Amino acid sequence: MKFAQRMGRLGTETAFEVLVRAKALEAQGHEVIHLEIGEPDFDTPAAITEAACDALRAGYTHYTPAPGMPQLREAIAADATARRGVTFSADDVVVTPGGKPIMFFSILALVDAGDEVVYPNPGFPIYESMIEFVGGRAVPIQLEEARDFSLDVEKLCAAIGPRTRMVILNSPHNPTGGMLSRADLELLAETVRRHPDLIVLSDEIYSRMIYEGEHTSIAALPGMRERTIVLDGFSKIYAMTGWRLGYGLFPRELAPAVAKLMSNSNSCTATFTQMAGVAALTGSQAPCDEMVAEFRRRRDVIVAGLNDIPGLTCRTPRGAFYVFPNITATGMSSREVADLLLYEGGVAALAGTAFGAYGEGYIRLSYANSIENIEKALASIKRTLAAHAHPVAAATAARANGRRTAGTKAGTKASANGKASKTGKTASAKRGDGKTRAVATSGE
């Protein structure tokens, strides 16, 4: 079958592909600890689920307006106004089945072929995928570990040119847990205001999952309300990933255009799901607070544990529920380590290159799992890496961790022929059992 050329520019998400491989191993009788997928392991709060059931029984099974039900849009606007310190109205809100349509529709509505979009790398792979799909030019800005993976706004501003149409922000950040400071956002806002056709897409899906500091939305800064698209949703903070319920807060002129894209694609978001969203925003937030508190405890456990493993170092993330440990001292590539951990260690993780070329030298682990399983995973990672440590790599790792090595035995390095690649590409790699398979290098 002949596909349109644009399909060759479309990326994917390794998180789901790794999940499939992990499930296949489990079907063969292997135990796998899942630290690959980016979703809370908590159930949706019962009151939200009951609200959806009540809505179904009450007949909320029909079409709604394309941008969403008025009562949900009003609830979203009120919540966003209270949390972000800038006024939104229901007319600024478009509700979509998940947060990805907000990315896609925004880029589709604003970015022409050849236009540039500046975005963080490593970063959520769908940013780059959508930019290239519509014919735009993706301009990555490297997130550096030395800065605690906080975006270097001066470099970002320097990358803005006459063809730059959009800047994408994500704070707290996937996959690193880094955050942008208010001072950084103020510097960026000053630059954006000098470019009349430049708009910011601010992905704030993790904005309520913060452990240090406070969240600042660039939309709340002077002159930025009508220059910013805020992406948010219910998947993370309300543990509603499978419900597919997200939304965008748009400049007034842009909202009807995005609603038109919604009408041409999905018609509307499921009605009873929207009613569940109303219950989520207007009901008790205690389950959310309890979940975030538990994530903080898990974060502390996994960071301490990773820093105790020779060959690994890990910064403490300030938000979201991911860690992004540095694995360079192992002497292996990101994908080699991720494959080794899955096929020999029984721990599902994502290679850093799943989030772009600048993710080489790292892996991403989600701590959306129990402390018991996190501790089991840490023990397995430590054993697996120790068994495959080369003498030079082991000595380097020991020095990095402030230890001495004595009588280190040479292990066998995991065999792999895959190399870091651009998001969305594939390469072959050796499995732990020696069989060759195709591995995609993009992920959630």
Q: What percent of the chain has pLDDT over 70?
A: 88
Structure tokens at 106: 């925004």
Q: What pLDDT sits at residue 10? A: 92
- In a shared domain, residues 317 and 430: yes
What sign does the dihedral 302-306-308-313 (CA atoms) show?
negative
**In terms of pLDDT, which residue wins out, 398 or 87?**
87
* Residue 45 neighbours by CB under 8 Å, 6+ apart: 238, 239, 280, 283, 284, 287, 288
Which of the four pLDDT bands, split at 50, 70 and 90, describes residue 13?
confident
Q: Which of 221, 252, 282 is the last residue of a domain?
A: 282
Which of the four pLDDT bands, split at 50, 70 and 90, describes residue 12?
confident
- In a shared domain, residues 260 and 304: no
- In a shared domain, residues 55 and 11: no
Amino acid at 195: H
Q: What pLDDT digit, counting tens, does each position of 127-176 carry?
A: 999 999 999 999 999 999 999 999 999 999 999 999 999 999 999 999 99
- In a shared domain, residues 70 and 124: yes
- In a shared domain, residues 79 and 191: yes
- In a shared domain, residues 410 and 267: no
**Beta carbons within 10 angstroms of residue 286's beta carbon:** 9
Measured CA to CA in angstroms, residue 209 lies from 95, 129, 173, 333 at distances of 21, 26, 11, 30
- In a shared domain, residues 120 and 30: no
- In a shared domain, residues 309 and 273: no
**In terms of pLDDT, which residue wins out, 427 or 166?**
166
CB of 406 within 8 A of CB of 398? no
Q: What pLDDT digit, counting tens, does each position of 187-231 carry?
A: 999 999 999 999 999 999 999 999 999 999 999 999 999 999 999
- In a shared domain, residues 293 and 276: no
Structure tokens at 111: 């970015």
- In a shared domain, residues 38 and 61: no
**In terms of pLDDT, which residue wins out, 408 or 339?**
339
CB of 38 within 8 A of CB of 15? yes
Q: What pLDDT sits at residue 393? A: 54
Q: What pLDDT digit, counting tens, does each position of 32-77 carry?
A: 999 999 999 999 999 999 999 999 999 999 999 999 999 999 999 9
- In a shared domain, residues 161 and 249: yes
Q: What pLDDT digit, counting tens, does each position of 309-329 carry?
A: 999 999 999 999 999 999 999
Average pLDDT score over the chain: 90
Q: How many helices (H) and strands (E) does the chain have?
A: 13, 14
CATH code of 312's domain: 3.90.1150.10
The CB-based long-range contact list for 289-293 (8 Å cut-off, 24+ gap) reads: 291/40, 291/42, 291/237, 291/239, 292/208, 292/209, 292/210, 292/211, 292/237
Q: What pLDDT sits at residue 434? A: 34
CATH code of 209's domain: 3.40.640.10
Q: Which of 234, 267, 282 is the last residue of a domain?
A: 282
Tell me how many domains the chain contains: 2
**In terms of pLDDT, which residue wins out, 412 or 400?**
400
Q: Residue 292 belongs to what H/E stretch?
A: helix 286-307
Q: What pLDDT sits at residue 396? A: 52
- In a shared domain, residues 167 and 243: yes
Domain that holds residue 23: 5-43+288-440
Q: Which of 238, 258, 282 is the last residue of a domain?
A: 282
Q: Residue 228 belongs to what H/E stretch?
A: strand 228-233
Residue 160, sorted as left (phi over 0), alpha (psi -120 to 50) or beta, turns out to be beta
| CA 207 – CA 259 distance, rounded (Å) | 24
CA 418 to chain centre: 23
Q: What pLDDT sits at residue 412? A: 35
CA angle, corner 92, sides to 87 and 98, nearest 5? 115
